[in-house]
Amino acid sequence: MNVTYFIFFIVIVIGTLVITHWAAERSKTAHQFYVAAGSLSGMQNGMAIAGDFISAASFLGITGLVAFYGYDGFLYATGFLMSYVILSLLIVEPIHRLGTYSVADVIAARFPSNKMRAVVAISGICISVLYMIPQLVASGLLIRLLLGVDFKIAVCVIGILMTVYVVFGGMLATSWVQIIKTVLLMGGTLLVVFIVLSWVEWDFVGLMNEAIQQSPYGTSYFQPGNLFKHPIEKVSLILTLILGTSGLPHILLRFLTVKNTKQARLSAMSASWIIGLFYLMTLILGIGTIALVESEVLLQADASGNLAALLLAEVVGGDFLIAFVMAVAFATIIAVVTGLVFAATSSFAHDIYFYLWKQKRVDEKKQLQIARMVAGMIGILSILISMKMETSNVAFLVSLTFAIAASTLFPLLVLTFYWERYNAVGAYTTIITGFIVSLTLVVIGSEGYGLVQLANPGILSIPASFAGGVIGTITGKKDEHSYQHLLRKMYSEKQEAAPYD
Amino acid sequence: MIDLTIVLFERISLLLLAAFMLAQIPGFRSLLDRDITLDTVIYLALVFGSIGILGIHIGVLIHIDTIELESRFTEVSSNEVLIGFSMVVVMIAGLLGGPYVGFGTGIITGIYLAFIGGDAWIANSFIHPLAGLMTGWTGRFFSDERVIAPGKALFIGMFPPILHMGLLLMFIPDQEKGIELVNTIGIPLVITNAVALAIFTMVIRAALNETEREAAIETNRALSIAEKALPILQDASLISNADKLAKLLYEELDVAAIAITDKQKVLTHVGLGDDHHRLGEPLKMKLSHKALATGDIQLAYDREEIRCRVHTCPLKTAIMIPIYRSGEIIGLINLYFRHSQQIRAVEVELAKGLGTIISNQISGFEAERMKELLKEAEIRNLQAQINPHFLFNTFNLLHSLLRVNQEKARHILIQLSHYMRANLTIASKSLIPLKDELLHVNAYVEIVTARFMDQLVIHKEIDLGVEDVLIPPATLQPLIENCVQHGVKDQQRKGRIDLIISREGEWVFLEVRDNGKGFSDDLLTLLGAEPVEPSNGNGTALYNINERLKGVCGVASQLHFSNLPVNGSSVSFKILVSTKERNEDAGDDCRG
């Protein structure tokens, strides 16, 4: 292992552990543990959301996709960005007003039965864990690729780190790890972008021409159709990406960590700015990669394109820059998986243990203790599962996660917030239809057994879950009070200062 | 790479040396205290800028073709790169003075670097203001301490050098050489800069904060002890709560043992040596007596002075803190340590502060209690002034006397007026001469004996020369009234009350006896210690008198209750003849 690489890794690990130590001293109450006592400002929270959201797959993967496929690769990125419009328009404010510690709190505000809470909590945990495992596996593969260490060791190191952050630091450590990751990622990417531009004497048009010349697609590099041959596939993917984000519990949870709805909207806005700028920079990086790195080298290193950014860094900056970019990628991985562990933990400890199992009859100390234990268990469990999945197709799991999120939690939230006639039966049918349809389609789709030529089931499963919700609502009995009840809860001034501390 | 790192560390230690010396100058420290206005920003930027230029000159030169070091330089030619340490200075300026000071320092050093030249002059000049801004902002973002924690500084200090490397990659004309250069100097520069920044902050923090922090910690500790001691001191005398207080102090302070004593003996001992330092032992140390006598803190530095008879006793040194109540020393708190080295100036100051705080608290509570009691007395007197029963009875008495014995009636009327006047005046004073109190008593006695003509005899035996002894007002009269009310009234035989005032040396003894039914046994233990259930009239009378006596004249003057062998009871107390001034001090405290 290269000394330079190693030093940078150590810096990231120590830096984040210091933050965790600092946060651990402040995570004494459940309120502090679950939502950092609402102490983050909108800007900080926006950075944390971006940190939660931009995975290593976006940083390294999108650069590679742009390098390989040009326009279509960038289209992928726009899907991620656009999802924030939906999120901040439809979801952020009600979530902030209704939620205390978890997404199930929000739904329980309208349908306060334990069964409903259980269903929402379980689907939340499913989504988080389903998303966490491919992230862990991918990061293990990545670390193996970058540092040459064994896959299992890589997964273990990342898994243990993420567990430590959550167990000791709670939401505060998670948030700060994510904020620092965002700063590093944005700063690092910007630096590499400038170096790339200086390499071509600040001539961006020249760089684009060079890219066209180097790309195997030639002039069609900047035109659609290189990655997605099928228009339906394209629409389905983008739809899933756009709507799926609003159904990811670890993103939704982040809106509970700010003081008021204004800050919550501000955080969604700053997050979308950061994410937007970031994807613009990956576009430049991708173009730079294809222009400056020889395409044989690119293909040889990793056919999926994950090493594109690193190869670019090697060309323009040598070992030092590679080490820095790797450290950024490492921080990125850690921040995302930490957020996921946290989401699964809060769902389990708050909804299942505190509400369903103990019927709220647990004191705060015990509650925190259990939350920490659950975090530890989820961490260990995901490490064990991920270690077994070295050779399996994790892209399958990612598309499954997004499909499930987009067709269960997202329709459930939208219908709960905005449809007066909606009732508990409808809520159950929404979740169940969405879950079954998306699962079936992924399994029989081209990522699964290949019975149907559809890799992304969103285009079918999302409408199906909405339809399921409507049918369920109509067959169920009318319940008009729940919506008025919800509105009252939402707009009667929520206490800004939390009563817990 | 390692060689280069070592060379850089050597160079940077020179800079740290300079920084350390600078931090010792008192003026430098006060520089950091000022509010950031435009002129301080410029001033600080100039100061840091000149240190930064020093930092540039202790740097090394690197030949870009051969990547070789040259350790001293006068000018930088076109294919050489200057690696200076001005960035550390700029970063520290940013961390200490904020982004603007950092920026200003960066501009100064940047301009200087531009004039020096060399291959990387654009990158070098550009990074400095940027580094100043960056560290300033990130420092503010991560911490609001006056001087940032070294750990955080280490973390923040990594990024400007990384950015510097990025800029070198951008601005060195020969890009291949640039990569080679960055690969060589990148890691050493990042490490040395970050570590230097951390050490720099550590030095400044140490210089700046040590005294402040220690004082703050000790203050905090003293305050927290004071706060926790509050409920302990509140509810009773030091004596009964000595144990609790000692335990509290033992937990809060880092000492080997704690002892609390009154003026004669040890009340409690907590901590090491409690196997042979027992309760109730008389004070052995000469220094203890000295502390009690002078009221100053005493330090025992060796075993000899502690005078412990057990040779294995682990307690070697001690601080003795006198405790006051209302200006009077009532005892000592002794802090024991294992080694004399453990007593630093800080401990002594803490002990002093602690003594003052605890004394003030005791006195404060005492004063509060006194105020309560005075208020009680006042109310009681108000009640007496308008006590309708007493007035009625006296008027009835006068009414009948006017027919049979006008002379007597006149006399009683005068006594009534004495009595009323005494009631009016006594409430406003905390001490009156005994003769005034006796006038009050006499007036009451005259009226009462006139009323119960055949049923009550009151004897007075009063030594000569006690008239001017000071006594809290309304102490004797209520005692006699108490005898009349509870002791004699419902008895079959003739009531007899004796008031005996005698002088023995420094003390005046006062006793009131009656031949009534006496105190019941269960009452005897309660009397004076707490208010008793009022069966008739004011049940708190005896308690209030007792508390006032203790408060104004000291514990020695408290009331003693006993039953006489045959019939009746006795209530007695004593007061000092001579210590008039002390009493007046106490009186002042009471009113305060």
Say which residue, B384 or B554, is predicted with more confidence.
Answer: B554
- Comparing A7-16, B122-131, B138-147, the range with the smallest average pLDDT is B138-147
Whether A500 has a pLDDT exceeding 60, the answer reads no
Partner residue facing B182 (CB), from A3, A7, A320: A320
- Comparing A183-187, A387-391, A400-404, A411-415, the range with the smallest average pLDDT is A387-391
Mean pLDDT of B327-339: 83
Mean pLDDT of B484-513: 82
Using H for helix, E for strand and C for coil, what is the string for B281-332? Answer: CECCCHHHHHHHHHCCCEEECCHHHHCCCCCCCCCCEEEEEEEEECCEEEEE
Q: Are B436 and B472 in contact (CB under 8 A)?
A: no
Say which residue, A79 or B579, is predicted with more confidence.
Answer: A79
Unique residue bearing structure tokens 């009462």: B448
Judged by phi (left if over 0) then psi (alpha if -120 to 50, else beta), residue A199 lies in alpha
Mean pLDDT of A227-255: 84
pLDDT band at A495; cut points 50, 70, 90: very low
- Residue of B162, B174, B175 to mutate for A, most A C-beta atoms under 10 A: B162
Say which residue, B280 or A436, is predicted with more confidence.
Answer: A436
Distance from CA of B78 to the nearest CA of A (A): 20
Please name the residues in contact with A271: beta carbons below 8 A apart, sequence gap of 6 or more: A45, A46, A47, A49, A50, A53, A84
Say which residue, B565 or B508, is predicted with more confidence.
Answer: B508
pLDDT given for residue B459 in this prediction: 86
Dihedrals phi, psi of B334, to nearest 5 degrees: -105, 125
Write out chain A residues lying below 8 Å of B168, CB-based: none
- Comparing A418-427, B150-159, B462-471, B582-591, the range with the smallest average pLDDT is B582-591
Sequential DSSP letters for A473-488: HHHSPP--HHHHHHHH
Residue spans of alpha helices (H) in A302-450: 308-346, 364-388, 394-407, 409-418, 424-444
pLDDT given for residue B579 in this prediction: 47
pLDDT band at B581; cut points 50, 70, 90: very low
Whether B583 has a pLDDT exceeding 60, the answer reads no
Using an 8 Å CB-CB cutoff, list residues of chain B that contact chain A.
Answer: 1, 151-152, 155, 158-159, 162-163, 165-166, 169-171, 175, 179-180, 182-183, 186-187, 190-191
Rounded Cα distance, B148 and B143, in Å: 6
CATH number of the domain where residue A193 is located: 1.20.1730.10
Among A413, A494, A429, A419, smallest CA distance to A86 is for A413
Take residue B167 and report the two structure tokens written for it.
């800029």
Q: Nearest chain B residue to A21 by CA: give it.
A: B151
- Cβ separation of A317 and B151 shorter than 8 Å? no
pLDDT given for residue B41 in this prediction: 81
Whether B236 has a pLDDT exceeding 70, the answer reads no
- Cβ separation of B187 and A4 shorter than 8 Å? yes
Whether B265 has a pLDDT exceeding 70, the answer reads yes
Whether A496 has a pLDDT exceeding 60, the answer reads no
- Comparing A393-397, A456-460, B90-94, B288-292, the range with the smallest average pLDDT is A393-397
- Cβ separation of A194 and B159 shorter than 8 Å? no
pLDDT given for residue A433 in this prediction: 92
Cross-strand bridge partners of residue A481: none
pLDDT band at B591; cut points 50, 70, 90: very low
pLDDT given for residue A363 in this prediction: 80
The average confidence (pLDDT) of chain B is: 78
Q: Nearest chain A residue to B187 by CA: give it.
A: A4
- Comparing A11-20, B432-441, B575-584, the range with the smallest average pLDDT is B575-584
pLDDT band at B587; cut points 50, 70, 90: very low
Take residue B340 and report the two structure tokens written for it.
């004399």
Rounded Cα distance, B552 and B587, in Å: 6
pLDDT band at A250; cut points 50, 70, 90: confident
Distance from CA of B163 to the nearest CA of A (A): 7
Whether B7 has a pLDDT exceeding 70, the answer reads yes
pLDDT given for residue B365 in this prediction: 80
Write out chain B residues lying below 8 Å of A172, CB-based: none
Q: Are A350 and A102 in contact (CB under 8 A)?
A: yes
- Cβ separation of B179 and A318 shorter than 8 Å? yes
pLDDT given for residue B370 in this prediction: 81
Partner residue facing B187 (CB), from A198, A316, A320: A320
pLDDT given for residue B589 in this prediction: 39
Cα angle value A15/A180/A397 (rounded, 5°): 105
Judged by phi (left if over 0) then psi (alpha if -120 to 50, else beta), residue A130 lies in alpha
pLDDT band at A467; cut points 50, 70, 90: very high
Distance from CA of A307 to the nearest CA of B (A): 20
pLDDT given for residue B489 in this prediction: 67
Q: Nearest chain A residue to B180 by CA: give it.
A: A318
- Within chain B, what is the greatest distance between any pair of CA atoms? 137
Distance from CA of B155 to the nearest CA of A (A): 7
Say which residue, A434 or A448, is predicted with more confidence.
Answer: A434
Mean pLDDT of A156-178: 86
Q: Nearest chain A residue to B172 by CA: give it.
A: A198
The residue segments making up the domain with residue A484 are: 3-497
Whether B35 has a pLDDT exceeding 70, the answer reads no
pLDDT given for residue B33 in this prediction: 58
Q: Nearest chain B residue to A324 by CA: give it.
A: B162
- Cβ separation of A7 and B187 shorter than 8 Å? yes
Q: Nearest chain A residue to B186 by CA: give it.
A: A320
A351 CA to centre of own chain: 21
Say which residue, B428 or B289, is predicted with more confidence.
Answer: B289
Percent of chain A with pLDDT over 90: 8
List of long-range contacts for B147-152, beta carbons under 8 Å, 24+ apart: B147/B32, B147/B95, B147/B96, B147/B201, B147/B204, B147/B205, B147/B208, B147/B209, B148/B95, B148/B201, B149/B201, B149/B205, B150/B198, B150/B199, B150/B201, B150/B202, B150/B205, B151/A18, B151/B198, B152/A18
Distance from CA of B61 to the nearest CA of A (A): 20
Mean pLDDT of B78-94: 82
Whether A267 has a pLDDT exceeding 60, the answer reads yes
Whether A499 has a pLDDT exceeding 50, the answer reads no
Candidate ranges A452-461, B87-96, B235-244, B574-583; pick with highest mean pLDDT: B87-96
Write out chain A residues lying below 8 Å of B179, CB-based: 316-318
pLDDT single digits (tens) B499-518: 999 888 888 899 998 888 77
pLDDT given for residue B449 in this prediction: 84
- How many domains in chain A? 1
Mean pLDDT of B221-235: 75
Partner residue facing B166 (CB), from A11, A18, A191: A191
Q: Nearest chain B residue to A176 by CA: give it.
A: B142
Please name the residues in contact with A383: beta carbons below 8 A apart, sequence gap of 6 or more: A136, A155, A156, A159, A160, A163
Rounded Cα distance, B6 and B24, in Å: 27
Overall pTM > 0.80: no
pLDDT band at B141; cut points 50, 70, 90: confident
The average confidence (pLDDT) of chain A is: 83
Partner residue facing B169 (CB), from A3, A4, A321: A321
Rounded Cα distance, B227 and B221, in Å: 10
pLDDT given for residue B27 in this prediction: 62
Q: What share of chain A is helix, strand, coil (3-state, %, to 5)?
A: 80, 0, 20
pLDDT given for residue B108 in this prediction: 92
Whether A105 has a pLDDT exceeding 50, the answer reads yes
Write out chain A residues lying below 8 Å of B175, CB-based: 199, 316
Using an 8 Å CB-CB cutoff, list residues of chain A that contact chain B.
Answer: 3-4, 7, 11, 15, 18, 187, 191-192, 194-195, 198-199, 316-321, 324
Distances (CA, A) of B462 to A167, B393, B473, B503, B513: 82, 29, 18, 9, 14
- Comparing A302-316, A353-367, B141-155, B170-184, the range with the smallest average pLDDT is B141-155
Say which residue, A355 or A430, is predicted with more confidence.
Answer: A430
Q: Nearest chain B residue to A321 by CA: give it.
A: B166
- Residue of A316, A320, A326 to mutate for B, most B C-beta atoms under 10 A: A320
pLDDT given for residue B383 in this prediction: 55
Whether B361 has a pLDDT exceeding 50, the answer reads yes
DSSP H or E run through B571: strand B569-576
- Cβ separation of A195 and B182 shorter than 8 Å? no
Unique residue bearing structure tokens 């000569």: B464
DSSP H or E run through A197: helix A170-199
- Which sign does the torsion angle of CA A306, A307, A310, A315 carry? negative
